[in-house]
Amino acid sequence: MRIHIQNPPPPADGSPDPFIITAAQVEQAAARGGETEAHTLSFGNDAASFAAGIADAEAVVTTPGQILGRFPVAAPRLRMIFCTSAGLDRLLPFDWLPPGVALLNNRGVHSAKVGEYSLMALLMLAARVPAYATQQRAGVWKPFFTPILRGRRLLVVGTGDLGAAGAREARRYGMHVTGVRARPAPHPDFDAILGTDALDAALADTEFLLLACPLTPATRNILDRRRLGLLPAGAGLINVGRGALLDQDALCDLLEAGRLSGAVLDVTVPEPLPPDARLWRTPNLLVTPHVAADNPETYNVDSLDIFFANLRAARAGEAMPNLVDPGRGY
């Protein structure tokens, strides 16, 4: 098979980028997967090498940023685009996708890391760490004594790999976890699953809210000002999905008013945040720079295992587990 790897360009400052895929990593993944079909690799990290590689590639492994705006392109043999991100919202709508080409995302690669991050953020909100960080800026020592997680309530919007990973960790510590998704169905990692039509009612009973769904036209601003206002006083919020899932200014207003007790955001609008962004200065809010889900030690290894598993499924005539549904956007 002709496989083209379109990497991001190396960092301008010369620092190593653990997410750049190497030929050795591809060969090792092929060996782990027991690949018997020969493959020919090409690599690129700019427009010229993309054009050269895509010209005869059957499969492309890339990030969304490296193909954004590069279609249509002459790619007569292309059958599959594997993106090493879970969220492909930057590529929406998928009207650029050539007919007959399968688009795959990288769901499944983030579970362990985002599970630990979500648990960390829950523990931080429960213990009021964002408030302590705000007090620290002012040199204020003021304790808040808080209980453990057991018995407390978490609402997770999005029950895919990210949301389920957070739910598992929360239940490990005795929390009661409700998931919200567009098409409700029982899920082993949740105590209850609700449809999006029940979101308003669920918010009023939520102590902790974890946003972990894909960004699509249906979920953009799903936590708008009105819905954020439904959260009870003292609730805490975590976002590991996409910044545009919520109304950031409304969140800042609620935090400044002391209505919400804290927030931990790994994703924001825009990214990176500019130095004068309101989020940096909002009390009881901690920002991490989009690092919640990516383990540099395992990312490429696991991503390539997922890629080859999908290749094998396609070859066997089975459904590819990471196939994106262009209609729903993930």
Rank residues 168 and 225 by Cβ distance to a second copy and give the closer one. 168
Chain centre to alpha carbon of residue 305: 19
Nearer to a second copy, 52 or 144 (CB): 144
Residue number, 247 or 302, with CB nearest to a second copy: 302
- Min. distance of Cβ 207 from a second copy in angstroms? 14
User: CA-to-CA distance for 135 and 218, rounded, in angstroms?
Assistant: 38
d(CA 242, CA 46): 26
Q: Given the DSSP bridges, would you call strands 102-104 and 80-83 parallel, antiparallel or unpaired?
A: parallel
Angle at 107 between CA 195 and CA 159, to 5 degrees: 20
Q: What DSSP character marks residue 10? A: P
Site membership for a second copy, residue 290 (CB under 8 A): yes
The answer to the question of residue 234 lying near a second copy (CB under 8 A) is no
d(CA 298, CA 88): 21
Determine, following the binding rule CB under 8 A, whether residue 275 of this chain makes contact with a second copy.
Answer: yes
176 contacts 168 by C-beta, under 8 angstroms: no
- Residue with smaller CB distance to a second copy, 31 or 140: 140
Q: How far is the CB of 218 from a second copy (least distance, A)?
A: 28
Q: Figure out which of the listed residues 20, 51, 55, 120 binds a second copy, where binding follows CB under 8 A.
A: 120
Angle value at C-alpha 272, between 103 and 158, nearest 5 degrees: 50
Which of helix, strand or coil describes residue 303?
Answer: helix
Residues in 125-184 that interact with a second copy by CB under 8 A = 126-127, 129, 132-133, 135-150, 173
Shortest Å distance, C-beta 177 to a second copy: 17
Chain contacts with a second copy (rule: CB under 8 A)? 18-19, 112-113, 116-117, 119-120, 123-124, 126-127, 129, 132-133, 135-150, 173, 271-277, 280, 286-291, 294-298
